[in-house]
A and B are shown apart, each in its own frame.
Chain A
């Protein structure tokens, strides 16, 4: 099915199951420890062996030789496979750095060997005995120091945009702002480290892994191993978090496959926690410059956003300027992005790539600009709202209710009580409120599913879609239940298996809308098959309460299925609606903080986020996505920073004690409101993404609240005590 014209009324609009607050259908499995993650697959008749990775101890150079003699003779060792043994491999399409193979070291902790032993303890001990002789080369690791050497990347990355005459308009503007902001490297830090089990059967391999994108992984694993894609079976039914860190094939799967081949045994490999930060990907740091010019009435006349980020050779930009092309009006505008070559671990997508760091900067700049023109920051945003793409005014937004989010949020949060800067104090605490806009584009990808109806009237959905905590199992079950007119207890959902139709996968907040649309398409096929079998006109057949009805005939679904059952399979594809209409999601974040006047410690006291993101398929799971994103934003604002050793070229704080993500004590009660809306331009579900929207802008709202509390404007994340303490009032 191809979605080419705006959705009209369809069975989803009945909202008997879709849109209802239904608890996760996998909730009992997860809360009782029965959900099986990659490393946990266990067949009592299978003699699993354990692989332990060895990472490069230099950031850049070559390996002259490796000595595995001691490792091979260590107790329990079955095989040692080195990067030199397997030689240089063809690289997967989605990887920037090599995962394994060849003598080149491109970053610290790049995998250089896997040791396979009878037990985990033996493999780990032997891995420490592997020796490598390196020819170390000089690398570049410091974004700020290398900024002048930044290059304009190829045009496919859209490095430059311009409309009108920014420079002239900025020069003649009544009020101007020209500021620089920085965001640090960040880590996904998902709770389940990357893990895989590989089991060969002849020339075929089954890999249980932790992947957001089954088909991308399968293709790239085939390329990296040099085997036919059809020989690879991937399984990833439960994923312990990803946030973009499991979008692309990683070394654990490659090492497990090579290790299993060498040991002639199924092999389990999990990345040790310190590897997660330096062996895998991270969100690259940015340096951003924002210039805004406005008239005295607050109307923006000129806006420019430039960003510098780094990556390995062949890598890409952190697209931090993208939202600035769409979020606010202004006739004269430009953006530019430049790329620095850095020999740090690979930079790549982390939750809301581009917009997350971009809004960390832009939404401080907007707060600063509002103050300069003497307007409330909400009013300033409303004055500069746009209902069309500012670069192409003939192209409207499909639906845009940023103003509604700001107004509703202001009312709910008590924004009218916002204190004057630095004026509210309760004991040792300086109290302030901040606001920021949330913005993230709505993406869709083709997504397939197979839906089966059996003689018991049970509907089973099969798709290679993944559930990374987002609630895919539940919303897919809701979609099938709504479409087939059955209760959710009559639906089974099977995900994350490469034998199922290829789905959108989980990423870019495209998963929910795309994958449920794929299930919608497959259900239409199944409905047609049922109608056809019964001799009904599929156009007027009604599926309701487990029965299919047409005119005065009605047949229970179980009976319609017959002994052999019926199947519908289809893939949702997408027409041009995203080109003719800009499809985005919007929101507003409100935060109240207290800052300790003596120590500069920031405590978040209240958080509210209002989202306008199309139809909400399940208010429970959607809300959880948003509170989780608000929490990640709190980390981004106050504590998360990968510290770069600019001499040796690696992230020093490579564990969960050094890389500080928020904990229970950091997070207050969080409130989320969804605007009641649908977007018929987005899909037959009339839904959009929400999982990344919730992160976009949170950190800036916190920063703006800190400014409101203290009068100290910090433009460099994270806002740690040292950046505040010099600006705080004297303590008697």
Chain B
């Protein structure tokens, strides 16, 4: 595990250095604008793999990974529920780990492998987790559902990888796949329709939790 104090320091360093970067770029940009009569370039080329396919995009530096997926690649299965990391509807997997795609910029993912709900399974060829959500009616309006499913798949992997959570009782023994662990780990994915009880049933079936 990382030392939380070190982590805090490195975050602060990162903030300081990025502020400096912005200032420098800003000066260079306005100088360029004066000499060439052009706007500062704010578009960056990014290459990544989405659902196994190589994609190249020119994106506004402010474009989130979420909007790159939805508005540029038209992969609208990934949902925008809050656009600031509070609801989990935008959950995707980047290099095998789940993240809120609204809280990360597309330009930060050059070379990454992104998996979205569209990459897990398709109608007629569902991923086991998608099939379990249908079977247990783990959704209603469906808007949080892709995020719930991506999170569910990743949660099972996190437990397998022995990554502890807030409710892990003993950090010296392997993380257990229990209902309490799943509920805790899934709590970043809000479902206002309130399908939680059914979602747990779906994850339990796929993960092999017996009640």
Contacts and interface: CB of A to CB of B under 8 A. Distances in A.
A241 B190 contact: no
A631 B81 CA distance: 19
A32 interface: yes
A31 B192 contact: no
B192 A190 contact: yes
Interface in B112-152: 116-118, 120-124, 126, 130-131, 133-135, 137, 139-146, 149
Interface stretch (B9-17, B20-28, B69-77, B156-164): B69-77
A627 B190 contact: no
Q: Which of A40, A471, A621 gathers the greatest number of chain B CB atoms within 10 Å?
A: A40
Interface in A8-39: 23-24, 26-37, 39
A449 B64 CA distance: 42
B18 interface: no
Prevailing SS type, chain A contact patch: loop
B123 A28 contact: yes
B81 A192 contact: yes
Interface stretch (B93-101, B170-178, B197-205): B197-205
A538 B79 CA distance: 49
B192 A620 contact: no
A24 B146 contact: no
B39 to A, nearest CB: 6
Interface string A61-75: 000000000000001
Contact of A239 (B63, B141, B195, B211): B141
Given A32-B122, A241-B141, A667-B194, A42 B81 contact: no
A627 B67 CA distance: 32
Q: Which of B63, B74, B87, B186 gathers the greatest number of chain A CB atoms within 10 Å?
A: B87
Given A28-B126, A33-B117, A191-B81, A241 B143 contact: yes
Interface stretch (A87-95, A140-148, A328-336, A657-665): A657-665
Interface residues of A, number: 66
Nearest to A626: B194
A624 interface: yes
A491 to B, nearest CB: 17
Given A24-B134, A28-B124, A272 B83 contact: yes
Nearest to B72: A119
Interface string A93-131: 000000000000000000000000001111001000000
B70 A40 contact: yes
B143 A32 contact: no
A35 B146 CA distance: 10
Contacts of B194: 627-632, 662, 667
Nearest to A240: B143
B15 to A, nearest CB: 21
Prevailing SS type, chain B contact patch: loop
Given A241-B141, A631-B194, A662-B194, A119 B60 contact: yes
A247 B124 CA distance: 34
Given A32-B121, A33-B78, A628-B140, A662 B134 contact: no
Interface in B174-193: 182-184, 186-193
B57 to A, nearest CB: 12
A273 B82 contact: yes
A265 to B, nearest CB: 15
A487 B184 CA distance: 41
Interface string B23-56: 0000000000000000100000000000000000
B89 to A, nearest CB: 6
A239 B194 CA distance: 15
B192 A661 contact: yes
Contacts of B79: 37, 191-192, 240
A664 B189 contact: yes
Contacts of A354: none
A708 interface: no
A693 to B, nearest CB: 14
B34 to A, nearest CB: 17
A621 B196 contact: no
Given A32-B122, A270-B80, A24 B137 contact: yes
Q: Which of A240, A627, A655 gathers the greatest number of chain B CB atoms within 10 Å?
A: A240
A241 B188 CA distance: 18
A542 B77 CA distance: 43
B183 A627 contact: no
Given A40-B76, A469-B142, A273 B81 contact: yes
A122 B184 CA distance: 37
Contacts of B76: 33, 36-37, 39-40, 42
A190 B195 contact: no
B193 A31 contact: no
A339 B198 CA distance: 40
Given A192-B143, A193-B81, A243-B192, 8 more contacts: A27-B137, A29-B142, A121-B67, A192-B79, A241-B193, A242-B141, A662-B196, A665-B184
18 contacts: A27-B133, A28-B126, A28-B134, A31-B134, A31-B142, A32-B126, A33-B116, A33-B146, A121-B62, A188-B192, A191-B143, A273-B86, A469-B141, A624-B195, A661-B192, A664-B187, A667-B197, A669-B200
Which 10 A-B residue pairs are closest in the complex by CB-CB distance? Answer: A33-B77, A631-B194, A240-B143, A469-B140, A469-B141, A30-B142, A628-B194, A33-B117, A40-B76, A27-B134
